[in-house]
Amino acid sequence: MNRVPMTVEGAEALRAELERLKKVERPAVVQAIAEAREHGDLKENAEYHAAREKQGFIEGRIQEIESKLSHAQIIDVKAIEPSDKVIFGTTVTIINVESDQEVTYKIVGDDEADVKNHKISVNSPIARALIGKEVGDVVVVNTPSGAVEYEIDAVEHL
């Protein structure tokens, strides 16, 4: 399987979630299943079925996180020499040429993307248009409503 790019922060967040699931959530659901079993007939025991369902979700999420981490190519942007070039992990400020609207995005891995927090996937149309370009360059991003031109205003290696 191909390596998936991920920032150091993204990998740390996944590791923290994995640890919480294994050390807090998993033991709690095992305890809930044990308590529900003590209540008798399992066929009509809603608490038991709910706990088993929750256990399935937790185990599935643990497997998913472990898989993501095993296939991750963790990139420390701070270790890369700063430049004006847009690369994975940089924070880039772009200006819509037509409307002069300014927006700032951090280019991250697929699992870290969160548009509300201005983090976009390296595989998104905007990021793909920006990667490899430099401050002052104008890029064209194809959107559902047509092509939009952005000028790269600033690049930060945070």
pLDDT tens string 32-86: 888 888 877 777 788 888 899 999 999 999 999 999 999 999 998 888 888 889 9
Residues 71 and 8 in one domain: yes
Task: Count CB-CB contacts under 10 A for residue 92.
Answer: 24
The total number of structural domains that make up the chain: 2
Residues 84 and 55 in one domain: no
Percent of the chain past pLDDT 70, that is, above it, reads 99
Domain span holding position 11:
4-75
pLDDT given at position 113? 92
Whole-angstrom Cα Rg for the chain: 22
> Is there a single domain that holds both residue 53 and residue 9?
yes
The answer to whether residues 97 and 41 belong to one domain is no
Strands (DSSP E) found in 8-101: 72-75, 91-96
Last residue of a domain, one of 75, 93, 109: 75
**Model pLDDT, residue 106:** 94
CATH number, residue 127: 3.10.50.30
